[in-house]
Structure 1
Amino acid sequence: MGCYYSKFERKEMVSRCKARKRYMKQFVKARNSFSAAHSMYLRSLKNTGAALLQFATAESPLQHHNPPPPPPAIIPPPPPPPPPMSTTSETWTTTSTTNTSSTPLPPPPPPSSSWDFWDPFMPLMEGEKSVRGDEWEVVSATTASETVAETTSGAVAAPPSKATSSDETPREMPVVVSSKQKDLMEIIKELNEYFLRAADSGGKLSTLLEIPASSGKIIGNGMNLNPFFCSWNSSQRFNGLMKFDCNGMAGIGAVDGSAIPGSHCSTVVRLYEWEKKLCEEVKNAESLKTEHEKKSEQLRKMELKKGDYLKIEKAKKEVEKLESRIMVSGQAIESTSQEIIKLRESELYPQLVELVKGLMSMWRSLYESHQVQMHIVEQLKYINNVDLSTEPTTEIHRQSTLQLELEIQQWHLSFCNLVKSQRDYIQSLTGWLRLSLFQFSKSPSTQTKQDSAIYTLCEEWQLVADNAPDKVASEGIKALLNVIHAIVVQQFDEQKQKRRLDSFSKELEKKTMELRALESKYGPSVYSGPEGRITGRVADKRAKVEALRVKVEEEKGKYEKSIGVTRAMTLNNLQMGLPHVFQAVTGFANVWAHAFESVCNQANILEEVVDVKSIMN
């Protein structure tokens, strides 16, 4: 056994095992962070919509708008679409890289009586687009004759139907039509509906990531989680894996009671335990072989010197015993390695495939929801920002604005965490795979990374994560946060000005009462009486009162101007920030939906190749 590996190879093996264990430990932590970030992002979408609705409820009584201008008679055609995205990784990599630049995203078409449902990240669908009616309507983008229309006031486009295959054939997408003017409250209500739909889009993926949904409580926040804690208790686990196709997820089978070994969390934790065991076994084998070399060298020297027979025999038995222990150690390493391979191929790989398909489904749904929101907020430009009310900002409205700022800040933070946690997840996994695909046996059946479907899948996935155009989306959310913060600051300035006005008004009231008291005490004669001292006191008091009255009028003008600035800034900032943020997140969601679709298709191809090989063998 001592001749199987050189001393250098054995040290390399120990080093490799330590690195494998380190990567798997990182992967366990990254899995929990990924799960928590996923749940927090979906929650942030829901909370942002609710905060916007609360903000609009407080703002709406303060805003007025004029009747909308007539829609333009001629609608300019949308910009030419980009070339269709292929299913190869090279294509979506180029797209991702392009979108990480600081170049502003092209604006969507203006809202009118006939909107084309176009966005700069996706090719136009085949078939003629058409609309009809004077309210919200939904028209299939692939077939003009098949329509789904809502004729009630304020109806919003329903989500498009899912594709029926994994390829990129044109899917039915909604066309949103509106010729009825809506106020701020109506627009935000519609936005909130699609925030709720967006939050629901990751529900099934949450199940695969083992996030409890029934209690309404999310386990952990990605920072203080026990790194080896599986977020579901045994009664919430599922038997086996959820089944996906390239359009979403199908059913799952529940069990009652015991923990299910096939859960993703369980698989990852058990892999880590096996890696720890393997590392100890390899270190033990190295120690035995080092001891064997030492004893063998001592025996050789004793035999050369023809030393005491009994001592030589004793040394031989010690060497033979070490060789036996080395043999057992090698078998243990082989057995542990096979357990890791078994878990990796039979449990981890299918789970990763399902995760990729779940991500594709989620980001496709997010794209569809955000795309509708992108067009809904275009109606904000028709709210008149000239004839604004002079109603002051209420305390309720100030609190709702602060809450909105907080929720958008959480949206931004959770988005950044979502992208980062997925990068950490796939990077730690890919790093482990690079090392774990090395086998300790010299069997000819050992797989290389080129032959490994799991490694190919993870390489593609890591490419998606590394090239994600998250900077554009992140900056879009941050830009919205900045304009809402500007409203908060302006509301504070308005309140500060109100306090100044109140202070001067109270002082004026106080000085006026003192003046009246003097006039009441000395009577009208003080105006022309001989007592100059008394007349001077009254005149001085009267001058101060008049100066204060002028100051109060001046502060009142400043306060009224501050109110007008607040009302105008509020509307202008919404008109500027909301379209930009939805354009940014729509573009990101579309890029990732296409990217994960490409990875999904690659996984399907690899599975077909594996199936063919198994049949031939």
Structure 2
Amino acid sequence: MGEKGGAAGRGARMAKMWETMHVHHGTQHKIVVNLRAFNILLTPKETSEQHHERTVQLWQIVREWHSQFEKLTKNQKEYIKALNSWLRLNLIPIESSLKEKVSSPPRPSQPPIQALLHSWNDQLEKVPDELARSAIYSFSEVVRTIVVHQQEELKTKEKCEDLRKEFMRKKRAFDDWSRKYLERRAASGEEANPEGGEGSHQDTLAERKLAIETLESRLKNEEEANGKLCKQVREKSLGSLQTHLPELFRAVSDFALACSEMYKKLRSVTQSQNGD
């Protein structure tokens, strides 16, 4: 009786645990539904290295969550099947043409644990673990996609920074060369060179100036493209989270509720066997 009572107590605690998880997941679901009204203008304008690292960390955690969730449902079903096999081999009498000795104590044809295991197995088949597992996996893929988009954004940002450094370096070199050139012209009294050397210097000045202006225009285009990409990454990331987070927490909330109901029913089976 004590062992059966202990099983009933453990069932009650498991039911309570999953019921608590159901409540928490329900609260999380309400929070992420409200995320749909979040103003994207309040989000950072670009992805930082730290933000990207946190996104990668989230992706790894969700992948591990999916892996452990698969083990939870798989191992529980395998455990029940193993116990049933053990019952068939050890507790349930095997049909035999040989008569048992009269002195042999009668064995129960259906041990009390058999009804519990059958009920447990039936309840496990009804738990919506596939929906929850699929929702967790889908969310991990969503986060993986966000990681990829952020990597593209960071590469574009790095490209802009390299181009900006190149422009600043060449602009300083041009300004220095142009200053010295104008100083030389002023020292010579700006007299025209009859050999045409002055015209050659003017062409060089124009060519170098055009090269700097072209590089500056390229930098502006890259910065504009990077700004657009930053905005797209924010919009896509927020849109994906707004869509998939409610689905995720609805699925795991339903799973937790089903597990709570399952353990309540298993507890009732145990109690009925105890004559409660």
Which bracket does the TM-score occupy, shorter chain normalised?
0.7 to 0.9
Distance 1:497 1:517, change over 3 A: same
Select the residue among 397, 400, 403 that pairs with 2:51.
397
Greater relative contact order (CA < 8 Å, ≥ 6 in sequence): 2
Select the residue among 131, 135, 154 that pairs with 1:472.
131
- What is the identity, as a one-letter code, of the residue corresponding to 2:223? K
* Structure 2 counterpart of 1:435: 89
Select the residue among 564, 569, 588 that pairs with 2:231.
564
The question of 1:544 aligning with 2:211 is answered yes
- Mapped to 2, the partners of 1:389 and 1:363 lie a distance apart of 35
Select the residue among 417, 437, 442 that pairs with 2:71.
417
Shift of 1:346: 7.5
- Mapped to 1, the partners of 2:38 and 2:45 lie a distance apart of 17
The question of 1:463 aligning with 2:122 is answered yes
* Structure 1 counterpart of 2:97: none
Select the residue among 493, 496, 499 that pairs with 2:155.
496
* Structure 2 counterpart of 1:426: 80
SS of structure 1 residue aligned to 2:127: coil
Distance 1:574 1:536, change over 3 A: same
Structure 1 residues not aligned, in runs of 5+? 1-344, 610-617
- Mapped to 2, the partners of 1:457 and 1:409 lie a distance apart of 34
Question: How many pairs are equivalent?
Answer: 260
* Structure 2 counterpart of 1:359: 14
Give the aligned CA root-mean-square deviation in angstroms: 2.6
SS of structure 1 residue aligned to 2:46: coil
- Mapped to 2, the partners of 1:391 and 1:501 lie a distance apart of 16
Shift of 1:505: 0.8
The question of 1:607 aligning with 2:262 is answered no
- What is the identity, as a one-letter code, of the residue corresponding to 2:32? V
What is the correspondence of 1:214-233 to structure 2 with a 5 Å cutoff?
A: none
- Mapped to 2, the partners of 1:378 and 1:571 lie a distance apart of 12
Distance 1:389 1:436, change over 3 A: closer
Q: Does the 8 A contact of 1:508 with 1:549 survive in 2?
A: yes
Shift of 1:419: 1.2
Shift of 1:377: 2.1
- Mapped to 2, the partners of 1:434 and 1:479 lie a distance apart of 40
Which digits, 9 at most, give the CA deviation of each residue in 1:356-399, with x for residues without a partner?
333222222211221222222221122223x4556322222222
The question of 1:576 aligning with 2:237 is answered no
* Structure 2 counterpart of 1:514: 173
Q: Does the 8 A contact of 2:7 with 2:270 survive in 1?
A: no
Which digits, 9 at most, give the CA deviation of each residue in 1:414-472, with x for residues without a partner?
22111112112211111101111145965351111xx3111110111122223431110
- What is the identity, as a one-letter code, of the residue corresponding to 2:67? L
SS of structure 1 residue aligned to 2:106: coil
SS of structure 1 residue aligned to 2:274: helix
- Mapped to 2, the partners of 1:556 and 1:390 lie a distance apart of 17
SS of structure 1 residue aligned to 2:108: coil
- What is the identity, as a one-letter code, of the residue corresponding to 2:181? Y
Q: Does the 8 A contact of 1:390 with 1:564 survive in 2?
A: no
- What is the identity, as a one-letter code, of the residue corresponding to 1:376? I
- Mapped to 2, the partners of 1:459 and 1:419 lie a distance apart of 17
Select the residue among 347, 351, 373 that pairs with 2:28.
373
- What is the identity, as a one-letter code, of the residue corresponding to 1:574? L
- Mapped to 1, the partners of 2:77 and 2:12 lie a distance apart of 17
Which digits, 9 at most, give the CA deviation of each residue in 1:304-325, with x for residues without a partner?
xxxxxxxxxxxxxxxxxxxxxx
TM-score of the aligned structures, taking structure 1 as reference length = 0.39
- Mapped to 2, the partners of 1:425 and 1:461 lie a distance apart of 11
- Mapped to 2, the partners of 1:453 and 1:494 lie a distance apart of 62
TM-score of the aligned structures, taking structure 2 as reference length = 0.84
